[in-house]
C-alpha cells in the first residue's frame, strides 16, 4: 500500500496538514493511536475567533461553547486583578468536537483516517505501524509532546486537568493562579465550559500534579469530578529542524505551543497548514526548497513572538512569591485598561511586558527584576 503522505497523530496540526495535502489531490493517510479522534482531551480549549478563521474553521455548534468575557489573575497572597477580554474575542471550545470537525474536513478533501493505529518506526520506503508496513514519500510526525520526551526532557512539565462540575465556576470567566511554591514555573487555571462546568488544571516543575490539583480544589469549594487527564506539556519553544530528510514535524511535536502557557491551537494549527501547503508543492516540484518553505513561513509569523515568550518565561521563573506580590501592587488601572482594549490573545508578549511594569512603572520593575527584560522590547 502506498500514500503520498502519512501523518502520525490525529489532532489539530496533523488533521489540518492532512486537509491541505488532500485538498491538492495527493493521497493522505492519518493514523491515530487512540481509539477516538479528539480523545484524550487535555487542552484548555482557548483560541481566538480570528485564529480559528485563519485556520479555516467555522466552528460547529457542538464545537463552540462560548466567548470568554474576563480573565482574573491571582497573586500568591490572594490579591488579584481582572482583565476584560471581550475585545480579544477568545472562544472556549470543545477540543473533542474541534478535532472531529477537522477530521471531517480532511476526509471530505480525500484523506483516509484510521484510529487505534500507531506509528512504530520509519522504514526505507515508508513507515511501519502496529498493523502493517506502508510506503510513502513524506512522513509527518504530529504525535504531540510524546515525540519530544526522548529528545529533551528539560522542556517538559507535568500537568493535570480535571473536568468538573461546581457552582463556583462562572461562565465566561477564566482564572489564573500564580504561586511559585505550589506551581513552580507555571500556574493553576480555571477555564469554564459553561455555568457550573469547566476544566481545572495545574502544572509545574518537579511537583506531584495529582496532589497539587487536589489541594487546589480543596481551596475552592464543593465539586464533582467527571474526568481526569494527566499529560506532559512543552514550554521550550520550537525545535531546531521542522524538516529532516523526508520527515516533517508539526504541532506540539515541533514545539509550536506557546512557551508561556503551552497553548497551541492556533500556532500549531498554522504549523499544520504551512506544512501541508509546502508538502503539496514539493510533491509536484520535487524541489527541496519548496518543502523547507514550511519552516520559513512559520518562523516569520511566530519566531519573534516565541523568542520573547521564552525570555519572558525565564524572567518569570526567577520570581519568588514575594516579588510576584509586589508586582501585582504596581499593576495600575491604566495598564489593565490598555491590555483589555488592545492586546492580541495570539501574540501576548505585550501583555506580559505591561504586567511586568515596563509601561508606567519602569523604575519599580527595574528595582524588582533588573534591566534584562529590555530584550522584550526589541
DSSP assignment of 223-247 equals -EEEEEEEEEEE-S---S-SEETTE
Q: Please give the model's pTM, rounded to 2 decimal places.
A: 0.91
Long-range CB contacts for residues 213-217, cutoff 8 Å, separation at least 24: 213/160, 213/161, 213/162, 213/188, 215/182, 216/177, 216/182, 216/188, 217/162, 217/164
Q: What is the mean pLDDT of residues 217-240?
A: 94
Q: Helix or strand or coil: residue 320?
A: coil
Handedness of CA 8, 14, 19, 23 (dihedral sign): negative
Lowest model confidence (mean pLDDT) among 114-123, 205-214, 334-343:
334-343
CATH architecture, domain defined by 2-65+88-151+236-310: 3-Layer(bba) Sandwich (3.50)
pLDDT digits (tens, 9 = 90+) for 42-78: 788 889 989 999 999 987 777 776 889 999 999 999 9
Judge whether residue 181 has pLDDT over 90: yes
* pLDDT value at residue 372: 47
Say if residue 355's pLDDT is above 80. no
| DSSP codes of every residue in 7-60 | EE--SHHHHHHHHHHHHTT--EEEEESSSSTT-S--S--EEEHHHHHHTT----
List CB contacts of 374: < 8 A, sequence separation 6 or more: none
What does DSSP assign to residue 79? -
Strand partners, 228: 162
Q: What is the pLDDT of residue 59?
A: 74
Please give the Cα distance from 22 to 110 (Å, whole number). 5
Instruction: State the average pLDDT over residues 11-38.
Output: 96
Mean pLDDT value of segment 308-314: 87
Domains 2-65+88-151+236-310 and 156-234 in one fold: no
Higher pLDDT among residues 113 and 324, named by residue: 113
Higher pLDDT, 293 or 85: 293
CA distances, 112 to each of 19, 137, 267, 275 (Å): 10, 16, 24, 18
Q: Which of 14-23, 154-163, 263-272, 356-365 has the lowest mean pLDDT?
A: 356-365
Average pLDDT rounded to a whole number, residues 136-143: 98
* Interatomic CA distance for residues 94 and 46, integer angstroms: 9
CATH 3.30.310.50 fits 156-234, yes or no: no
Domain boundaries, the chain: 2-65+88-151+236-310, 156-234, 318-377
Contact 114, 32 (CB under 8 A): yes
Q: What is the pLDDT of residues 329-343, one digit of tens each?
A: 888 888 888 888 765
Confidence of residue 259 (pLDDT cuts 50, 70, 90): very high
Amino acid at each position: 500500500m502506498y500514500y503520498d503522505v502519512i501523518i502520525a497523530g490525529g489532532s489539530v496540526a496533523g488533521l489540518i496538514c492532512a486537509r491541505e495535502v488532500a485538498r491538492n489531490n495527493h493521497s493522505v493517510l492519518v493514523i491515530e493511536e487512540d481509539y477516538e479522534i479528539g480523545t484524550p482531551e487535555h487542552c484548555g480549549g482557548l483560541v481566538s475567533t480570528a485564529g480559528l478563521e485563519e485556520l479555516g474553521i467555522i466552528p460547529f455548534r457542538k464545537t463552540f461553547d462560548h466567548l470568554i468575557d474576563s480573565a482574573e489573575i491571582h497573586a500568591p497572597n490572594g490579591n488579584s486583578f481582572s482583565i476584560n477580554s471581550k475585545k480579544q474575542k477568545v472562544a472556549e471550545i470543545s477540543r473533542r468536537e474541534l478535532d472531529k470537525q477537522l477530521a471531517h474536513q480532511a476526509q471530505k478533501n480525500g484523506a483516509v483516517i484510521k484510529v487505534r493505529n500507531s506509528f512504530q518506526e520509519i522504514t526505507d520506503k515508508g513507515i511501519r505501524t502496529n498493523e502493517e508496513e506502508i510506503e510513502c514519500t513524506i512522513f509527518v510526525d504530529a504525535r504531540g509532546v510524546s515525540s519530544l520526551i526522548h529528545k529533551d526532557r528539560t522542556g517538559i512539565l507535568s500537568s493535570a486537568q480535571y473536568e468538573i462540575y461546581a457552582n463556583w465556576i462562572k461562565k465566561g470567566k477564566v482564572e489564573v493562579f500564580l504561586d511559585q511554591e505550589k506551581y513552580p514555573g507555571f500556574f493553576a487555571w480555571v477555564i469554564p465550559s459553561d455555568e457550573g462546568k469547566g476544566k481545572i488544571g495545574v502544572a509545574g516543575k518537579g511537583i506531584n500534579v495529582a496532589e497539587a490539583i487536589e489541594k487546589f480544589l480543596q481551596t475552592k469549594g464543593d465539586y464533582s469530578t467527571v474526568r481526569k487527564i494527566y499529560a506532559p506539556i512543552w514550554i521550550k519553544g520550537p525545535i531546531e529542524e521542522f524538516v529532516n530528510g523526508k520527515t516533517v514535524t508539526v504541532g506540539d511535536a515541533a514545539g509550536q505551543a506557546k512557551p508561556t502557557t503551552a497553548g497551541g491551537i492556533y500556532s500549531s494549527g498554522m504549523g499544520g497548514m504551512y506544512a501541508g501547503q509546502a508538502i503539496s508543492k514539493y510533491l509536484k516540484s520535487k524541489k527541496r526548497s519548496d518543502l523547507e518553505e514550511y519552516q520559513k513561513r512559520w518562523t516569520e509569523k511566530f519566531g519573534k513572538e516565541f523568542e520573547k515568550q521564552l525570555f519572558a518565561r525565564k524572567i518569570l521563573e526567577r520570581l519568588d512569591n514575594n516579588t510576584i506580590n509586589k508586582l501585582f501592587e504596581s499593576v495600575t488601572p491604566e495598564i489593565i485598561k490598555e491590555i483589555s482594549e488592545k492586546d492580541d490573545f495570539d501574540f501576548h508578549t505585550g501583555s506580559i511586558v505591561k504586567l511586568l511594569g515596563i509601561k508606567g512603572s519602569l523604575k519599580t520593575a527595574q528595582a524588582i527584576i533588573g534591566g534584562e527584560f529590555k530584550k522584550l522590547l526589541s
